[in-house]
A and B are shown apart, each in its own frame.
Chain A
Amino acid sequence: MNPDPSIREEAIRWAARVSDPEFGDWDDFTAWLEGDPAHAEAYDTVQFALDEAASLLEAAPGVPDVASAPANDNPPPPLAGRRWAWIGTAIAASLVLVATFLLWPGARGEADYATAPGETRLIALSDGSTITLGGGSRIAIAGEGKRKARLEAGQALFTIRHDARDPFVLAVGSETLVDAGTVFDVRMNADGLDLAVSEGAVVVNPAAQALRVDAGRKAVLAAGSYTVMPVDPDEVGEWSRGRITFRDAGPAEVAAELSRATGIAFEAGSAGSAVRLSGSIALDQVRADPRSLEPILGMKVRRDGGVWVISAQ
């Protein structure tokens, strides 16, 4: 973390050179890196600080642009304005995951939690279980000892301390999910819900079809019926670790997911709406530069007013 000052100075010099789009001296840069493993580390430290500063500045709402000359000269891109005002908060939330502690309001009371798009909340329950609430989501948690919750919108990752005599029960719309020793992720969408299990198992609607979904399986509810398919357990709840993986998803779904996860407004354009997209996306990278999605998705991403449009052209 504290390299030799001269190495640090060299790393800054290289960062300034490499960041230029016209930079072409990759062989010399490689030679410098090969000179000492500390070089790469110093360079990483500098680039990290620069990316962070740039994304904070870009998202900063309504602050006077200390760097810019008066407004007649190269106005900054249309980032200022109210619809961007909450993005600063969203980005901050991505930099430091904020832990929320549950204050039980009373024996019978419910506690409600809601997140803005781009925000993530960790909710620690008194029994040692945790719920990570994704962006643009809402959940109501029953009073102490009740082991009940109701997901009202969005997505959450549940890490539940299992008790066979007193299972944790989650209501999602008209569905009931009961844990059987579990880490599971639930996402509500327009069609129904996706339930993905990475540890243990969840029983869906025990009073009706009693569908058991084991670790490494995913149940998708659409048009009133469930389809079960395999899922990579490492991908379950990975949004809470700053990543989203899509497999054969439509641009509209990708846009909605990214908006909720990053707090940046995305939309699917009309061109290429039938395309199916696959790819694994680091959310920080998207927050720092929405256009970084282009190579990952193989789609164009352009800004239209306050919205980023994902389309084939």
Chain B
Amino acid sequence: MASNPKLEQAYLAHRPRLLRFLAARGAGDAAEDLLQELWLRLARAADSEAAANLAYMMRAADRLMIDRYRARRQEALREQAWSEAQPGLAEDIAPSPDAERSIAARQHVTRVEQALAALGERPARIFRRHRIDGLAQRDIAAELGISISTVESDLRRAYRAVADLRRTLDEV
């Protein structure tokens, strides 16, 4: 997993832009540290040719920040679960946690599906094709025989519905 010179060169050339992006992306003072973490990810990329591309690096930086945000949220959830798990707080014990959990999971999937279905068939389909199957918006437009701007606007509606759902759950 030694890094290749071309990748290293490209990284050094793009370093200031990446640093600026990470700082703006919420890293603040930790931007230098995160840049180091980003470099480790890039150096381990399966395709170092592709990784030497600015767009690839920026996307990897964006992903790094998304992962950090998720880790923070999950840590908070775990701490909450932990404090709720302290003996004494729940003397009379959880009723069948397995059943409760799988019900909660199914409810959440159902809510996401309903939120998307409420927009109609096309936005829901575009959401899946783009976000799960990883198709480019241009390819989805070709597949459905519609314009790219229609794909974009449907996608925004789907994103809004999903973000709204998450916010509603956070407020409970």
Contacts and interface: CB of A to CB of B under 8 A. Distances in A.
The answer to whether A and B interact is: yes
Interface string A133-162: 000000000000000000000000000000
B124 A101 contact: no
A284 B124 CA distance: 24
Contacts of A299: 46
B81 A279 contact: no
B102 A57 contact: no
Contacts of B51: 295
A26 B125 contact: no
B170 A1 contact: yes
A130 B81 CA distance: 13
Interface stretch (A10-18, A177-185, A227-235): A10-18
A92 B105 contact: yes
Contacts of A18: 59, 62
A205 to B, nearest CB: 31
A56 B132 contact: no
A112 interface: no
A92 B128 contact: no
B33 interface: no
B66 A47 contact: yes
A44 interface: yes
Given A13-B156, A51-B66, A295 B132 contact: no
A19 B159 CA distance: 11
A53 B162 contact: yes
* Contact size range, B: 35 or more
B105 to A, nearest CB: 3
A105 B171 CA distance: 38
Interface stretch (A67-75, A165-173, A188-196, A252-260): A67-75
Contacts of A300: 46
A64 to B, nearest CB: 9
Report which residue of A18, A95, A241, A297 has the largest number of chain B beta carbons within 10 angstroms of its beta carbon: A95
Given A67-B128, A99-B97, A100-B97, A77 B116 contact: no
A51 B44 contact: no
B62 A124 contact: no
B85 A95 contact: no
Contacts of B166: 45, 48-49, 52-53
A241 B75 contact: yes
A96 to B, nearest CB: 6
B34 interface: no
A294 interface: yes
Given A12-B156, A16-B152, A67-B128, A91 B137 contact: no
Interface of A: 1-2, 8-9, 12-13, 15-24, 26, 30, 33-34, 37, 40-41, 44-54, 56-58, 60, 63, 65-69, 74, 76-77, 88-89, 91-101, 103, 122, 124-126, 128, 130, 241-242, 278-279, 282, 284-285, 292, 294-300
Given A15-B159, A26-B54, A101-B93, 20 more contacts: A2-B167, A12-B160, A21-B136, A22-B137, A26-B21, A33-B21, A40-B65, A44-B65, A44-B69, A49-B167, A53-B165, A57-B113, A69-B121, A76-B128, A88-B109, A94-B74, A98-B97, A99-B82, A126-B87, A298-B44
26 contacts: A12-B156, A21-B134, A22-B137, A26-B55, A40-B26, A40-B65, A45-B163, A46-B163, A49-B162, A51-B70, A52-B166, A54-B131, A57-B113, A66-B124, A88-B102, A92-B102, A99-B81, A99-B94, A99-B97, A100-B94, A101-B85, A122-B81, A242-B71, A242-B74, A295-B44, A299-B46
